[in-house]
Chains A and B, each alone.
Chain A
Amino acid sequence: MTEPVWGPVHADIVDLLADHPEDVPAVVDHLTKLQDLLVRLPPLERSCPLADFNRLYLTITSRVLEGLYDDYFADPVFLSRLDVEFAARYFDAMRLWTESSPTTPRAWSCLFKRMKGPDARPLPSAAAGVNAHINFDLPFALVTTFDHLESEPVDGTEQHRDYLKINDIFADKIPSLRRGYLERWQLLLDMLNGDIDDWYQGELVEYTRDVAWRNAQKIWRCRHDPQARDGERTRLDDNAAALGRLLLSPLGAFLQ
């Protein structure tokens, strides 16, 4: 038989993924356990590119959890549902990868493939994960959350403001993660938050970090039309995958 996808920690990861966390404390718990497993994954172990992303994501999500406990958000119901749904998509991608499913989003599989090497620098690795998660997963997580809460993505609402606060958390956490790389991170984040189309078309002037939100609104409008919805999905996946491959190429290393 071929070697299991997750090598020596395969069984542990499959067990972990069998569980579907339903609140933010459980998501943090999940990410923590995942981190412990990913750094044991040969050949790269501590420098596993997925672990680089997971570490960053864990830091951000823990901060979001603190924010929820500390009354930092105006609509915690929305934000916690969004956070859980958002994380579920990362776990889903891992699950599909585990099953070697051809439907694994390409935005993710370009990072998953690199777990076996060659080693990529931690910064672009984490960035590739952030790219897949924000540019591909987030718009869909937003749509699902709004649909579930029988609400809708409207600019200037409490939900929109809470959503934008997450960006502050990113900005706040990232410099402390890698001191001295702030400007490059900033550049990277600005770039990541746009999909390549929009970037080229120069639509990013006003809403640099808001592209996932815009995309969610776009999907929201066509969510009853399966064909248009799938079209959006393919478009976002293609864009995110292209950017992800770029980040993991030798070019990405310039960032660090």
Chain B
Amino acid sequence: MASDVDSAPLVGRADQLAALRAALHDDIGPGQTAAVFVTGESGVGKTRLLTEAAARLRDAGAVVLTGSCLDIGDASPLHPVLQALRRFDADLAAGQARTSSAVRGLLRTFAEESGGADSAGALLERVSAGLSLIAEGRPLVLVLDDLQWVDRTTRQLLLYLLAGLGGLQLSVLAAVRAESLQGAHPLRRVLTELRRLRSVRVLDLAPLDRADTDRLAGEIVGTPLAPEAADQVWQRSGGNPFVVEELARDLRDGHDGLSDTLREIFLSRVDVLPRQAHAAVHAVAAGVEPVEHWLLAEVLGLPEPELIGALREAVAHRLLVGADDGYRLRHRLVAEVLAHELLPAERAGLHRRYAEALTQAPAELHQARLAHHWRLAGEPGRALPAAMAAAREAQRLHGFAEAHRHWSAALQLAATPTSGRSGAPPEVDRAVLLEQAAETAHQSGEHARALSLLAELTGGEPLDPSCGLRIRRARYLAAAGRSAPAEAEYRGVLESVDCTARDRAAAAARLAELLLHLGRYADAGQRAREALELAATVDGSTTEVVLASSALGFSEAFLEDPDAGLAVVRRALETAERSGGPEDVACAYLHLAELLTGPLNILEEGVVVARRGAERVAELGLGRTYETRLLAIATNGLFRVGQWAEAEKVVAAALRHRPSGADAVELLLARCRLSVGYGDVEASDRDLEAVATMLAGGGAPRHVLPMLILRAGLAMWQGRHDVARQAVQRGLTESRSDDVVLLGALAWHGLRAEAEAHASRTVAVDPTAVRRLRDAVDRVTAKSVTAAGPVRLNADGFLALCTAELTRLDGRGDPDAWARSAAEWDKRHHPYPAAYSRLRQAEALLARRSRSSTASKLLRQAHEMALSLGAVPLTSEIRTLAGRARVELTERAQPTGRRPGRTRSTGVGRQSAGAAPATATGEPVADELVTLTAREREVLTAVAEGLTNREIGQRLFISERTIGVHVSHIFDKLQVRTRVQASAIHLRNRGE
């Protein structure tokens, strides 16, 4: 049909195609993800590049799914993914029954999604499971065009999959119109945050250069252009391939002279169209693309042969393009040209015919399209039910932002006076619309909008709204960060005689929670007690009891009556178990575990509670949300008490639930903390990238600081003190000074980076940075004096470290300052910083050449602590120092058999201690590899080949994690710190 249409050669994009194939297919290891975002102005050839790249990736054996986003502004969540799946299914050959059934299975998942309580994350998980069934181990590529119109849910799905949380080897190729990014588009920030990741590329597609422009025009015309014509094409197209193509075609077809603009080109083509083709183009312009063939037939009311004839004409005039799934305008400009041609009544008539046709037959995006067309047909009464249905449909798929837009549209429709032909509007309770619109606004984070909708609901009258509404208003106010009016509203409910005891209990409990967040512990405690008294008089108020008890427990803990607080929270758990719903039980466990591991610092018990709670909520069917949160608490507790191997198991179990959103970020950070401690650079990097990917979606700034602290910590072990400094500087400019614990941790990392830069002379100490860090320490000190006891306790630990690091910067380090730091951390049962402090204390003592026996003792203690943690980089620093100082590390460190965790002492005891620098300075020993097991030798061989842990795991059929353990053991036994050093030893001994 359109032999002419797509035959233009692809000119000047060979490099980009090769780069795309490499980035999205060839360079991706198993289980890794990658993404390329192609940006460029309209007509620069993004869609064409996507199509060509998709074909090449398909040829390379990838499963390629392609979809496009829609610009109707109120599309449905995940539409492009659904569309991609349907297209893929339609294209499957007969022999691919298994893939086809996997695709249909996933499509059913969407259809059956109930929008129930089990959070939107569950849907993401099911989608990724479905995709992995479709892929069957083949690489999967998701190609999305017009990403500037992507819905929020799809955006979240993409980030979730790219962060590797779906456990899927996936690459994403998406095109974004550059013009859209210039405004206030949400993708702008997402791309800025993503572009620094190694797995992501942003490819800015530039117009063609002069030579390629000439080539393309020549190919279309059939002969090279005369210099004058070539000049004109270049001048007018600016190298934009779409314009080049159209100009060259006009030239070839002998149109008089060159049209000046694309607009003129299209105008002249529309002018010469036969009548029916003209109608067809107008109909497509009014539709939602792609317009299905059957639908177009209904709208135009033409017999099939005439319809085909008309469409052929429109395609031949290069105004329409046809594909299996329907018709589209060739360019957005066509719509603009056409817009001035129709009378409003004609356009409304077209929309009416669309709406009528769609009423009879279901189609993709049925309700959203129906609402769209009825509205533009001037039939608000008929658009209204469709908008409401579309809103419910979006809510079902957890697309609260989209649902909110549909509810808002419904409100507008309900307020539009109906005129003329349509019947009376359906009876819709405006209050219901307002309530739904308000709640979905609140759920998608638009609290101000939620509040104004709520105000409309109460009719703007100052008279009493219902108690339920007032509580809602207070909730929205609190969520919007407007605590004072929120507090006033809760108080109003509490004082109102019209409100039931139940309402008042709820108000008091929520007010207590709010006050707790504001740090007003005494007030919070008082309100919580009030809530508990009120709740005692009402049956079935367990939810309020749990909420109030937690507020009371925490306020007591902060006011330094921990025992009383703990008792209250324990009682709440009993109440929940006795008379509450599953969520009440889960919340009660969560609060108790948080209280124990948080302000009370009773870590061991907190871990036990968290793990028991995790088992219990799994029984109750709340695994995804609450179990992962409880396990995150357990992981962090285990990390702090030094049971890293156990922590590692727990975090792996939690991640098997494929959590999403903030829960996922929390777990990735917890796992990364372990990897940094182990010195596993590769794993740490991967988790940091995944966290950054998730954070690119926005929200949750509270996770940025922990991420930066880990980034700094990792850089420090790598000796990249400038990188550590940058991470700390960013952290300092993005933290609130009342967040004393995080700020303290950050300042310590900064000072340590400067101190180590000073000691190792890797980079020059930055005096400005040091001055700012001193200021930060002063601020933390000042704030922590007035902070609640538990907060002060944690802050003081970091302040001790900061003070001690400062002495390193001023001189050789003050052993007393380090001793104080070690004591602080011993007091908290936190061995990792305690071991580090001992190392520095010993170093300071040795530098003063005094009390070397104390130094030896400290080093041995630190060594044993670090070993039992499995803290490889810390262990080797200790060994290096011991080696320099000729301190025997293992004198009293013979394995006792009770060391928990990833004991790395195996074999080390047999070696002569203090031999740490031997590999660097001493004579090579003939049997350097003698201490390695057969397996470890295999692993070392692979390491020396330059393979990553993942690749070695694949070769030896064991998990990557186990390889990590082997590599750590190898490092320990060979007393090296890097893969290169280990490989060097291997190569030296290879002859044997």
Contact = CB atoms under 8 A, between A and B. Distances in A.
Contacts of B736: 74-77
Interface size class of chain B, counting residues whose CB lies under 8 Å from the partner chain:
35 or more
Contacts of B186: 144, 147-148
Contacts of A65: 733
Of B178, B180, B449, B730, most buried by chain A (CB within 10 Å of CB) is B730
A183 interface: no
Contacts of B180: 226
Contacts of A151: 445, 481
B184 A148 contact: no
Interface in B40-93: 41, 71, 73-74
Contact of B184 (A25, A105, A140): A140
Interface string B171-194: 000000011101111101100110
B405 interface: yes
Interface in B603-628: none
Nearest to A140: B184
Nearest to B705: A77
Interface string A69-84: 1110011110011000
A119 interface: no
A25 B583 CA distance: 45
Of B183, B405, B704, most buried by chain A (CB within 10 Å of CB) is B183
B448 A144 contact: no
A219 interface: yes
B196 A148 contact: no
Nearest to A66: B772
Contacts of B206: 99
B761 to A, nearest CB: 23
Interface in A1-45: 20, 22-26
B688 to A, nearest CB: 14
A223 interface: yes
A70 B768 CA distance: 13
Contact of A23 (B179, B185, B733): B733
Interface string A46-78: 000000000000000000010011110011110
A229 B699 CA distance: 23
Contacts of A22: 192-193, 196, 730
Contacts of A150: 445, 698-699
B704 A158 contact: no
B931 interface: no
B775 interface: yes
Interface residues of A, number: 48
Interface in B557-575: none
Nearest to A100: B238
Interface string A83-126: 00100100010000001111101000000000000000000000
A226 B238 CA distance: 26
Given A65-B733, A77-B704, A224-B405, A154 B448 contact: yes
Interface in A233-251: 233
A147 B155 CA distance: 14
A71 B779 contact: yes
Contacts of B733: 23-25, 65, 68-69, 76, 80
Contacts of B735: 76-77
A139 B149 CA distance: 21
A154 B481 CA distance: 10
B260 interface: no
A130 interface: no
Interface string B241-278: 00000000000000000000000000000000000000
Given A25-B726, A68-B733, A69-B775, A20 B192 contact: yes
Which secondary structure dominates where chain A touches chain B? helix
Contacts of A157: 481-482
A127 to B, nearest CB: 23
B681 to A, nearest CB: 22
A205 to B, nearest CB: 24
B480 A154 contact: yes
Contacts of A25: 726, 729-730, 733
B190 to A, nearest CB: 8
A228 B776 CA distance: 45
A221 B827 CA distance: 53
A133 B74 CA distance: 32
Contacts of B877: none
A77 B734 contact: yes
A77 B448 CA distance: 20
Nearest to B405: A224
Nearest to A83: B733
Contacts of A224: 73-74, 405
B729 A152 contact: no
Given A24-B733, A77-B704, A147 B73 contact: no
A87 to B, nearest CB: 11
A49 to B, nearest CB: 23
Contacts of B449: 152
Nearest to B700: A150
Interface in B402-451: 405, 445-449
Of A102, A139, A147, A225, most buried by chain B (CB within 10 Å of CB) is A147
Contacts of A99: 206
B737 interface: yes
A230 interface: yes
Contacts of A71: 737, 779
B184 A23 contact: no
Contacts of A139: 184
A233 B186 CA distance: 15
B505 interface: no
A188 to B, nearest CB: 27
A143 B734 contact: no
B227 interface: no
A149 interface: yes
A102 B238 contact: yes
Contacts of B178: 103
A102 B736 CA distance: 42
25 contacts: A24-B730, A25-B726, A68-B734, A69-B732, A69-B776, A71-B779, A74-B736, A80-B734, A85-B188, A88-B192, A92-B182, A101-B41, A103-B41, A105-B182, A139-B184, A140-B182, A140-B183, A144-B188, A145-B189, A150-B699, A154-B448, A219-B184, A224-B405, A230-B183, A233-B182
Closest 7 CB pairs of A and B: A143-B184, A23-B730, A68-B733, A148-B189, A148-B698, A150-B445, A150-B699
